[in-house]
């Protein structure tokens, strides 16, 4: 293998695939980036066996050539060195030339690196997924759906399925659900395509989705989602993102969400979040973030928090609408605050079903999002 | 004590003094901020016993009043809560009212905090320094002198004096010196004032200087430095910054710096630093950052670095001027790179006195800075 390529183009591609590479893998060759040069262009691959990212740099576009391929071939070079090396190369172009089976010379201007690597024949193959069952979304929408659910996954490995976000597809509607058993975040979206397409229990690891959302753009560019029983593939222009799926059965959450409340109110998203932020200044030390709320029929809402060491705080809010019974409840303020941060709407409605029962937070201007919370028992 | 004060003004002042407060102190009351209100204004104090910061907010300026003092008095409130609380207060003003001997009520809009504190009578007094021996510098100059020396202090407590920067004053010249015994950074500056003023061995802890430089402005505003045998005080407008001095004798460094070299060359500061950055990509893993340099009489400079695991790198630079013998030397690349980062001049001169002797790096456009380095022995 021997290529000359624009440094900037190459650096961007290397940074994409390096996101998938982990130094903590137990498979040494996966600490490397695979580089394949053909007469069509250069393909880079990085993987930690949970996530794999493959990106392709074509020879050029209509305006200009990005590279010259003097000789086809492949290489695997150590990511921890390679990514930094190409980033710090001084010239506008760099050349990479294979040097024996497992090493390469990388040159730019007066700089010459000789870098050791691995045998490319040993690099694991990426799965080939059938292209039948797929749906297409704008990238910004998938990015929003991830942001609005992934914060609620569990970070405890005791119930592995809860470390992922569950995706269901039915009647041209995609629903993403995450829960750590104390709170639940649900976001749905409609898409165009095959009315017959139906999936349930597609559990994608939260970590994969966080990495994916760093790559997704904030615009209408499409992303194609290909689903199999063990893998999911997100296809973007010149970029493939594979993730394994989590084994197991995601809890059925539909009938957890109460439909009738005893106390319902509307509040400013921002004002409630600021009040919780202040109240948590005292409760964060106790690590449970317990906040007390007292809602009176006039729409007066009192937020309080007490710390034996520090003191106490009390704050008044006023609900825009208030219906139902007076209520006293205690909850984990951080869980509510996490949810409020991903609700882009100015006002939310909260529906309580009693001081010892779960309650629901929803934006007031659309019905594609639901957050569910358990109260906290105090004294 | 009972005051009402503009939130913004108060937050700025609290953030200054909170820099001096450490949660790791063994003296509980020093986890607090002291607040003293008089008919002249409010004084805030924070201290970790090494550093103390006192700031004063006057009643107002020519344009407007910042505060109303309803009742004079003093308080000590826990910094870890108090700083965040005032930052997150919603209203344009906040009120603080003493609540018994050791607590306060802090209010803003509909928010009420009751915060526990300490008995203000127990708060240690700040030293009163005689105002005789003092010098005045523009703040940006002192900030530069700190930035250009403090990186070279030792972070090992085995020789405590080396964890500080030594200041000497003589003939209207201030000299700051730091060394960790492998490298030395020296920066001097002239000032106007009393020709007779003379100090030696004023060793200010590096940590104090780092905090001070966060407060110093990048402009010509003056800072007055008051020196005693155990303390130094930096006086700025409405702000006092005290630091204890380090006990002991700072090494005499004057005669360490060689005056005649065997090999002298001039290089671009930026190009040398970028070359070292690249070479360290391979040597950083070995943690010694060993870089090899070979300089030939034509002015050709070769930088190389080798890693058993990763590979090797070789890069060519060209010296603007070159005088003296050919040379091969090895050094800690990070030490040189740290120094190059604080040299604001475009070119530097390096003077070598042999491959096993210390060498000197200086900017080419002024003589107020000297960096000295030991080479590394390699076989």
**Chain A interface includes B100 (CB < 8 A):** no
**Chain B interface includes A315 (CB < 8 A):** yes
What does the pLDDT read at residue B130? 83
Parts of chain A with a pLDDT under 70: 285-287, 379
DSSP assignment of A114-143 equals EEEEE-GGGSPPPPPPPSSSEEEEEHHHHH
Question: Using one digit for the tens of pLDDT, what is the confidence trace for B257-295?
Answer: 999 999 999 999 999 999 999 999 998 766 679 999 999
Dihedrals φ, ψ of A346, to 5°? -70, -35
**Chain B interface includes A314 (CB < 8 A):** yes
Dihedrals φ, ψ of B176, to 5°? -110, 130
Query: Cβ contact (<8 Å) for A90 and B312?
Result: no
**Chain A interface includes B297 (CB < 8 A):** no
- The answer to whether A268 and A304 are in contact (CB under 8 A) is no
For chain A, domains (ranges, CATH) are: 2-122 (3.10.150.10), 134-254 (3.10.150.10), 258-373 (3.70.10.10)
What does the pLDDT read at residue B51? 96
| Chain B residue numbers touching A317 (CB-CB < 8 A) | 110
Q: In the block, which residue shows the tokens 């900030």?
A: B143
Question: Using one digit for the tens of pLDDT, what is the confidence trace for B79-98?
Answer: 999 999 999 999 999 999 99
What does the pLDDT read at residue B128? 86
| Chain B residue numbers touching A274 (CB-CB < 8 A) | 88, 90
What does the pLDDT read at residue B379? 63
Give the residue from B281, B282, B294 with the most A CB atoms within 10 Å of its CB, the best one to mutate. B281
| Chain A residue numbers touching B115 (CB-CB < 8 A) | 310-311
Nearest-CA distance from A212 to chain B in Å? 28
- B173-179 sheet: strands from edge to edge: B199-205, B164-170, B173-179, B183-190, B369-373, B359-363, B347-352, B263-268, B321-324
What does the pLDDT read at residue A218? 97
Q: Which residues pair with A371 in a beta bridge?
A: A185, A361
Query: Cβ contact (<8 Å) for B312 and A111?
Result: no
ipTM of model = 0.89
Q: Which of B334, B304, B335, B328 is nearest to A110 (CA)?
A: B304
**Would you state the structure tokens that stand for residue A293, as one six-digit string?**
């709320």
SS3 assignment, position B158: coil
Dihedrals φ, ψ of B51, to 5°? -115, 140
Mean pLDDT by 10 residues, chain B (379 residues): 98 97 90 97 96 97 95 96 97 96 94 96 90 90 98 95 97 97 96 91 97 97 94 96 97 90 96 97 81 94 93 96 96 97 97 95 96 90
SS3 assignment, position B26: coil
């Amino acid at each position: 293998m021997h290529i000359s390529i624009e440094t900037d183009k190459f650096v961007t591609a290397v940074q994409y695939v390096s996101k998938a590479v982990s130094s903590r893998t137990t498979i040494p060759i996966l600490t490397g980036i695979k580089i394949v040069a053909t007469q069509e262009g250069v393909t880079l691959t990085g993987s930690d066996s949970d996530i794999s990212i493959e990106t392709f740099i074509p020879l050029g576009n209509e305006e200009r050539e990005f590279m010259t391929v003097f000789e086809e071939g492949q290489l695997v070079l150590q990511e921890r060195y390679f990514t930094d090396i190409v980033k710090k190369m001084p010239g506008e172009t760099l050349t990479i030339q294979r040097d024996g089976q497992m090493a390469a010379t990388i040159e730019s201007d007066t700089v010459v690196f000789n870098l050791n690597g691995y045998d490319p024949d040993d690099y694991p193959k990426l799965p080939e997924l059938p292209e039948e069952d797929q749906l297409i979304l704008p990238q910004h929408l998938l990015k929003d759906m991830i942001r609005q659910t992934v914060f609620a996954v569990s970070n405890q490995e005791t119930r592995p399925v809860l470390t992922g976000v569950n995706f269901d597809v039915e009647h041209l509607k995609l629903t993403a659900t995450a829960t750590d058993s104390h709170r639940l975040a649900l976001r749905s979206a409609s898409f165009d395509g095959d009315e017959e397409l139906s999936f349930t229990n597609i559990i994608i690891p939260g970590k994969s989705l966080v990495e994916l959302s760093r790559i997704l753009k904030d615009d209408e560019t499409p992303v194609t989602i290909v689903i199999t029983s063990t893998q999911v593939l997100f296809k973007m222009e010149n970029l493939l993102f594979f993730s394994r799926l989590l084994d197991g059965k995601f809890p059925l959450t539909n009938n957890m969400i109460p439909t009738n409340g005893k106390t319902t109110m509307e509040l400013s998203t921002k004002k409630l979040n600021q009040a919780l932020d202040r109240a948590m200044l005292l409760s964060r030390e106790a690590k449970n973030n317990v906040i007390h709320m007292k809602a009176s029929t006039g729409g007066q809402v009192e937020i309080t928090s007490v710390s034996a060491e520090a003191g106490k705080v009390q704050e008044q809010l006023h609900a825009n609408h208030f219906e139902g019974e007076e209520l006293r409840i205690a909850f984990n303020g951080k869980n509510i605050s996490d949810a409020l941060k991903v609700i882009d709407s100015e006002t939310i409605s909260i529906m309580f079903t009693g001081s010892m029962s779960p309650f629901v937070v929803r934006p007031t201007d659309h019905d594609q999002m639901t957050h569910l919370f358990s109260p906290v028992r105090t004294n």
